[in-house]
Structure 1
Amino acid sequence: MTTVTAPAASASPETAGPGAREQSPRRRRFPWAPLALLTPALIMLVVFIGWPLVQLIVMSFQEFGRAQIFGAPPGFVGLDNYVAVLTDAEFWAVLARSIALCIVSVVATMVLGILVAVLLTKLGSVMRTAVSVALLLAWAMPALTATIVWGWIFDTQYGLVNWVLTRVTGTDWTGHSWLIDPVSFYAVAAIIITWGAVPFVAFTAYAGFTQVPDEVMEAASLDGASGFARFRLIVVPYVRSILLVLLILQIIWDLRVFAQIYALQSIGGVRAETNTIGVYIYSVSMASGDLGAGGAISVILVAILLLISGYWIRTMLRQEEQA
């Protein structure tokens, strides 16, 4: 006699084991953890950058002078501040000087910083530590303090530069002022700015150079590639994004430089002939008391920096997509 067995009933999710419940699809949840970690930084950006920037933009459309500083209500003037700034020949002269100084400083900083980074990769541990300490000391020195020290080095009567030139050339350089002439003033300023910025570029570039695979470098060396060819064809493509970020940061920092220029002007420079855009904004806003015009100049500078940053960032993203 044959016994017929009834088909087993399908197990429901409630009666199924824990393994079946794990295999069921889960509803995707919003990633709250990353948002929670980013929230403090976002709050800081809004409070310390976003809100002051909004106030600056609003002020640039107002008549905001000494009377408003002491409590008088500001008046809305529309684009009058921007028209006054953009039609002022002094603004364009200051902007041109600032761009020229920025180009010289950025090129010198990037070239010297990359060379120092390459040097760090070739040195032994002891010498690398010594050079790193020297770079850190230069980097840690405040810009105002460094400018004062460099001002002593280029001092008219007792400066080291004039003393060395007198001994080397046989001509008396005592009494020669490096800060009276605008060209030599900006040369000194470029030296100070570059000296303070090279350590950051050197350390960052060195960190990128250490990530280049040794196997690729050894293979290129065995194929007969020279040191410069390996650097140009292998190292630079690996760290191109890092170098682009460094370039953007240096352009932003050098275009709005303030402390070094203001301190050199206080030591002996002619302010009217050596203003850069950062000092010019301070002069218009604080010395002249026209905060509305100063705000308009600041907004124009922010727009220029955003255009430069946006262009380089877009270029970097395109290169990464092509790679």
Structure 2
Amino acid sequence: MTAADTRAAGPPVPVPRAPEGAGAAPVPAKGSPDSRPKKRKKGELLPYLLILPALVAIAAVYAFPLAKTVIMSFQDMGRKELWTGESPPWVGFEQFTDILGDGEFWSVTGRTVVFMAVCVTLTMAVGLLLALLMTRLTTWVRLVLTAALVAAWSMPLMVAASIFRWLSDSDYGLINTLIAKVAGEDFLGHNWFLDPKQGFAIISLLVIWGAVPFVVITLYAALTQVPRELEEAASLDGANAPAVFRFVTWPVIRPVFTMVATLSVIWDFNVFGQIWLLRGNKPEPEYETLGLYSFSKAFESTSFSQGTAIALITVLLLSGVAVYYLRQLMKTGEVE
């Protein structure tokens, strides 16, 4: 293009610049503070360093036994391998197929589930009723009841089992004596443990006795968080006591109730000491739950691998309950 053509086209039109920030982000100059890699502050690592000893202790106490249990469940360890130290042969899933194909295992599992369901239901019902009662007691009566609950909660299992063995004794038991005054002298000398249903009733009382204090104290703490003005407003609107509890009180305490009930399921599913002590360290097959069944297979039948396989199956059965508990715990934290 010649100079004449350039003059004919007129002056050049200026091209407008894009405003700052409308296009690509400006590249920081080399050596500027934005170009330097961000370093983690020392304070951010402090929480992880503080919980590190606890994590190491948990790994040492739980991780190694769990790993050993998993390995042993795929082997066939007997008394010979235990005493000689020889490596037990690998059998794969043979232990699990034998257990799952055994009708006795499913009978014990059903007994465990029924026993757990009865204990959890009664524990939560009694605990909720006592917690509601504590909200209506005077201060000093509530303190006395709380002290009694804490004392029962802190009682060693062996002491509590000895008390219940005396209460249910066939010759000198208080339960037989009280019932004999109503039903007649023929009830004296009644053995509660000849019938497994009656025996499990005594065992359930012991389990509930030890679990109710925790439930009562926890639920009472949740009930103190219920706004009283909402309950009073509902009462003024004509709602009766059950309606106030259902629509005002229950939505507030439901997360705590769910978490306590989930913990009770885990605890009562693993009941061992109560049955073991009440049956004189020799529980009959009719009183075996999954924990006792695993112990019996491992140490009485000297089939250690089969016992560990039963224990691993129990862990898998409870893992779903544990996951549900953790989800509820996380939801409660998000709400707060």
TM class by shorter-chain length?
A: 0.7 to 0.9
Distance 1:77 1:307 in 2: 27
Q: Give 2:314's aligned residue.
A: 301
Give structure 1 regions of 4+ aligned residues with deviation exceeding 4 angstroms.
Answer: 312-323
Does the 8 A contact of 1:59 with 1:292 survive in 2?
A: yes
Match of 1:146 among 137, 152, 160: 160
Question: Conserved in 2, the CA contact under 8 Å of 1:281 and 1:298?
Answer: yes
Q: What's the secondary structure of 2:312's corresponding residue?
A: helix
* AA partner of residue 115 (structure 2): L
Give the alignment's Cα RMSD to 1 decimal.
2.4
- Contact 1:252 1:305 survives alignment (8 Å): yes
Distance in 2, matches of 1:153 and 1:319, equals: 41
Q: Does 1:35 align with 2:73?
A: no
Of 199, 202, 218, which aligns to 1:185?
199
- Secondary structure at the aligned position of 2:135 is classed as helix
Residue in structure 1 matched with residue 175 of structure 2 by the alignment: 161
Whole-angstrom CA distance in 1 between matches of 2:177 and 2:287: 25
Q: Does 1:135 align with 2:162?
A: no
Aligned to 1:7: none
TM-score, structure 1 as length reference:
0.86
Counterpart amino acid of 2:76? E
2:276 and 2:283 in contact (8 A); partners too: no
Paired amino acid for 1:126: W
How many Å separate the matches in 1 of 2:250 and 2:57?
A: 35
Residue 117 of structure 2: SS of its match in structure 1? helix
Q: Say whether residues 1:213 and 2:227 are aligned partners.
A: yes
Could you tell me whether the CA contact under 8 Å between 2:263 and 2:325 is conserved in 1?
no
Give the Cα–Cα distance (whole angstroms) in 1 for the partners of residues 121 and 60 of structure 2.
34
| Residue equivalent to 1:104 | 118
Q: CA deviation at 1:193?
A: 0.6
Q: Which stretch of the first structure deviates more once superposed, 99-108 or 38-47?
A: 38-47
1:240 aligns with 2:254: yes
Q: Is the CA contact 1:102–1:255 (under 8 Å) kept in the aligned structure 2?
A: yes
Q: State the 1:68 CA deviation.
A: 2.1
**1:45-70 CA distance string (max 9 Å, x none):** 21111221111111111111112221
Q: Which has the larger radius of gyration?
A: 2
Q: Cα gap change, 1:42/1:321 in structure 2, threshold over 3 Å: closer, same or farther?
A: closer
Shift of 1:273: 1.3
1:3 equivalent in structure 2: none
State how far apart, in whole Å, the 2-side matches of 1:274 and 1:85 are.
19
What CA deviation, in whole Å up to 9, does each residue of 1:124-174 have, x standing for no partner? Answer: 111011111111111111222211210110101111111111111224211
Q: Which amino acid aligns with 1:117?
A: A
| Equivalent in the alignment of 2:60 | 47
2:303 is aligned to 290
State yes or no: 1:66 paired with 2:88: no
Identity of aligned residues (%): 37
In structure 2, the CA distance between the partners of 1:289 and 1:322, relative to structure 1 (3 Å rule), is same
State the match for 1:15 in structure 2. none
CA contact (8 A) 2:153 2:210 kept: yes
Q: 1:126 to 1:258 in 2, by over 3 A?
A: same
Q: Number of paired residues?
A: 299
Question: Hey, what's the Cα distance between the residues in 1 that align with 2:183 and 2:199?
Answer: 22
Note the C-alpha offset of 1:84: 1.2
Counterpart of 1:62 in 2: which secondary structure?
coil
- Kindly report which structure 2 residues correspond to 1:75-94, keeping only aligned pairs within 5 A, or say none: 75-94=89-108
Query: Residues 216 and 27 of structure 1: is their aligned pair in 2 closer, same or farther, counting only changes over 3 Å?
Result: farther
How many Å separate the matches in 1 of 2:149 and 2:67? Answer: 38
Unaligned segments of structure 2, at least 5 residues: 1-32
| TM-score normalized by the length of structure 2 | 0.83
Structure 1: how far apart are the matches of 2:222 and 2:332? 17
Partner amino acid for 1:281?
A: S
